Chains A and B, each alone.
Chain A
């Protein structure tokens, strides 16, 4: 029955969105973490999502792929978390305790507006997947009452 697949699918999406929300939280928390050199500065982290297909599950020899061979896919996975290549923000603050010999302090390449938009998107997607899971649950509960009334 493919209704039970929905729990796997929506569950994977919910955990992926949680990872995304976590990276947003980390970026926002470090928005003002100054450093005295470019390589010590915090860089914005972004998760990379990829679709999870039954084929790839089968390829790596895990998961019961015989149950559903419809090719519909089984959700989403987080491939990894990459650091943003956007330029850092050097600011001339000679009075700052972290300033280097030229008087510059490096601030992270976190864009708070972009992060806020990302946060909204992640929480909306999470909500949607919860609703999908709920309606799959009620469909399954309904199936159990078949012929009882």
Chain B
């Protein structure tokens, strides 16, 4: 039986990618906390998941056909945050909220990292066989 990395990692590698992408988006919101007319943005996990699932796959009618993947939409899954308070300069960054989201996001990153690390350790143990 071949070892499948995709199933062994149980999507945690993709989650790490998502978490670091989201960290960049949130960091950008915080960086632009004093920029007039800046609108705070965020990626939702569901949007990311839908994007992953909606990738086009070529139909293979012969076993020798080469499979390929394309992406369906050009949407990047980035949404605009609903402002909790209107501000005079049109900026919708709520510093406290962004910091809280960033902290939560990095904890979730750590969680996925831990799972991934344990999975790799498990595989290493299985391969060592002792």
What is the interface of chain A, defined by CB distance below 8 A to chain B? 1-3, 5-6, 9-10, 12-13, 16-17, 20, 48-51, 68-76, 121, 125, 128-129, 132, 135-136, 139, 142-143, 146-147, 149
Contacts and interface: CB of A to CB of B under 8 A. Distances in A.
Contacts of B31: 9-10, 12-13, 16, 75-76, 129, 132
B97 to A, nearest CB: 13
Contact of A72 (B21, B109, B110, B117): B21
Interface in B103-130: 103, 106, 109-110, 113, 116-117, 120-121, 124
A142 B19 CA distance: 13
B35 A132 contact: no
A2 B22 CA distance: 9
B124 A128 contact: no
B52 interface: no
A49 B91 CA distance: 12
A135 B95 CA distance: 16
Q: How large is the interface on B (under 10, 10 to 19, 20 to 34, 35 or more residues)?
A: 20 to 34
B21 A70 contact: yes
A6 B23 CA distance: 8
Interface string B22-59: 01110110111111101001010000000000000000
Given A70-B78, A128-B95, A146-B113, A51 B35 contact: yes
B82 interface: no
A70 B41 CA distance: 11
Interface of B: 16-17, 20-21, 23-25, 27-28, 30-36, 38, 41, 43, 76, 78, 95, 99, 102-103, 106, 109-110, 113, 116-117, 120-121, 124
A132 to B, nearest CB: 5
A69 B33 CA distance: 22
A5 B28 CA distance: 9
29 contacts: A1-B17, A1-B20, A2-B20, A2-B21, A3-B20, A9-B27, A10-B27, A10-B31, A12-B31, A13-B31, A17-B34, A49-B32, A50-B35, A70-B43, A70-B78, A71-B76, A72-B28, A72-B41, A73-B28, A76-B34, A121-B34, A125-B33, A128-B30, A139-B23, A143-B16, A143-B113, A146-B116, A146-B120, A147-B121
